[in-house]
Chain A
Amino acid sequence: MSENPTSADLIARLTAVPGVDSVSVDGDALWAEAPRLDVAALAAAMAELGLRFVTTTATPLGPDGETTVIHHWVSEPTLVNVRTRTRNGRLDSLAAAVPAASWAEREITDLLGVAFAGHPDPTPLLLPAGAAPGLLRAAMAEPRTAAPAPVSPLARP
Chain B
Amino acid sequence: MPYTFPLGPYHPALEEPFKVNVRCSGEVIESATVEVGFSFRGIELLAQKRNWVEVITLIERVCGICSNTHAMTFCMAAERIAGIAAPPRAVHIRTVIAELERLHSHLLWAGIGAEDIGFHSLFMEIFTLRERVMDTLEAISGNRVNYGMNRIGGVHRDIPDPAAHGPALDALERGLAEVVVPAFTANPTALARTRGVGRLSREEAVRRGVVGPVARASGLDMDVRKDHPYLAYADLGFRSVTRTAGDVLARVEVRAAEMLESVRLVRAALAGLPPGPLAAVEGVPVIPPGEATVRTEAPRGEAFYYVESDGGPTPARVKIRTPSFVNIPAIEPMVIGQPLADLSIIQASVDPCISCTDR
Give the residues in chain A near B48, CB-CB below 8 Å. Answer: 140, 144
Give the residues in chain B near A102, CB-CB below 8 Å. Answer: 329
User: Are B36's CB and A125's CB within 8 A?
Assistant: yes
Q: Given known contacts A81-B293, A100-B208, A126-B358, is B45 in contact with A140 (CB within 8 Å)?
A: yes
- For B319, the closest partner residue in chain A by CB is A57
Q: Given known contacts A81-B293, A151-B45, is B314 in contact with A54 (CB within 8 Å)?
A: no
Give the residues in chain B near A52, CB-CB below 8 Å. Answer: 206, 209, 222
User: Are B209's CB and A100's CB within 8 A?
Assistant: yes
Q: Is B74 an interface residue (CB 8 A)?
A: no
User: Are B49's CB and A147's CB within 8 A?
Assistant: yes
Q: Give residues 44-70 of A contacting B (CB, 8 Å).
A: 52-55, 57, 59, 70
User: Are B42's CB and A136's CB within 8 A?
Assistant: yes
Q: Is B159 an interface residue (CB 8 A)?
A: no
Give the residues in chain A near B317, CB-CB below 8 Å. Answer: 57, 59
Q: Given known contacts A1-B220, A54-B321, is B51 in contact with A100 (CB within 8 Å)?
A: no
User: Are A144's CB and B295's CB within 8 A?
Assistant: no
User: Are A136's CB and B316's CB within 8 A?
Assistant: no
Query: What size tier do the contact residues of chain B reach?
Result: 35 or more
User: Are B358's CB and A57's CB within 8 A?
Assistant: no
The contact string, 1 if C-beta is below 8 Å from chain A, for chain B 292-314, is: 01010000001010101010111
Give the residues in chain A near B310, CB-CB below 8 Å. Answer: 144
User: Are B45's CB and A99's CB within 8 A?
Assistant: no
Selected interface stretch from A12-20, A33-41, A71-79, A85-93? A71-79
- For B221, the closest partner residue in chain A by CB is A1
Q: Give residues 204-218 of B contacting A (CB, 8 Å).
A: 206-209
Query: What size tier do the contact residues of chain A reach?
Result: 35 or more
- For A129, the closest partner residue in chain B by CB is B35
Q: Is B169 an interface residue (CB 8 A)?
A: no
Give the residues in chain A near B209, CB-CB below 8 Å. Answer: 52-54, 98-100
- For B302, the closest partner residue in chain A by CB is A54
Q: Is B40 an interface residue (CB 8 A)?
A: yes
A151 to B54, CA, bound (A): 14
Q: Is A146 an interface residue (CB 8 A)?
A: yes
Give the residues in chain B near A110, CB-CB below 8 Å. Answer: 37
Q: Among the listed B208, B228, B319, which residue makes an inter-chain contact with A76, where contact means beta carbons less than 8 Å apart?
A: B228
Q: Is B282 an interface residue (CB 8 A)?
A: no
User: Are B228's CB and A1's CB within 8 A?
Assistant: no
User: Are A151's CB and B220's CB within 8 A?
Assistant: no
Give the residues in chain A near B164, CB-CB below 8 Å. Answer: none
Q: Is B50 an interface residue (CB 8 A)?
A: yes
Q: Is A29 an interface residue (CB 8 A)?
A: yes
A28 to B293, CA, bound (A): 10
User: Are B49's CB and A151's CB within 8 A?
Assistant: yes
Q: Is B46 an interface residue (CB 8 A)?
A: yes
A139 to B45, CA, bound (A): 7
User: Are A77's CB and B227's CB within 8 A?
Assistant: yes
A103 to B358, CA, bound (A): 11
User: Are A144's CB and B228's CB within 8 A?
Assistant: no
Give the residues in chain A near B40, CB-CB below 8 Å. Answer: 126
User: Are B228's CB and A77's CB within 8 A?
Assistant: yes
Q: Is B184 an interface residue (CB 8 A)?
A: no
Q: How far is the CB of A17 from chain B (nearest CB, A)?
A: 20
The contact string, 1 if C-beta is below 8 Å from chain B, for chain A 117-150, is: 0000000111110000001100110001111000
Q: Give residues 166-220 of B contacting A (CB, 8 Å).
A: 206-209, 220
Give the residues in chain A near B36, CB-CB below 8 Å. Answer: 125-126
Q: How far is the CB of B179 from chain A (nearest CB, A)?
A: 34
- For A31, the closest partner residue in chain B by CB is B291
Can you show 24 pairs from A to B with CB atoms below 8 A apart? A27-B80, A28-B228, A54-B302, A54-B321, A55-B321, A55-B325, A57-B306, A72-B293, A74-B295, A77-B228, A103-B329, A126-B36, A126-B358, A127-B37, A135-B42, A136-B44, A140-B44, A140-B48, A144-B49, A144-B316, A145-B49, A146-B314, A147-B49, A151-B49
Further pairs besides A52-B222, A70-B306, A146-B49: 19, Cβ < 8 Å: A53-B209, A54-B295, A54-B304, A55-B326, A76-B222, A79-B293, A99-B207, A100-B208, A103-B326, A103-B329, A104-B321, A110-B37, A125-B37, A127-B37, A139-B45, A140-B45, A151-B45, A151-B49, A153-B42
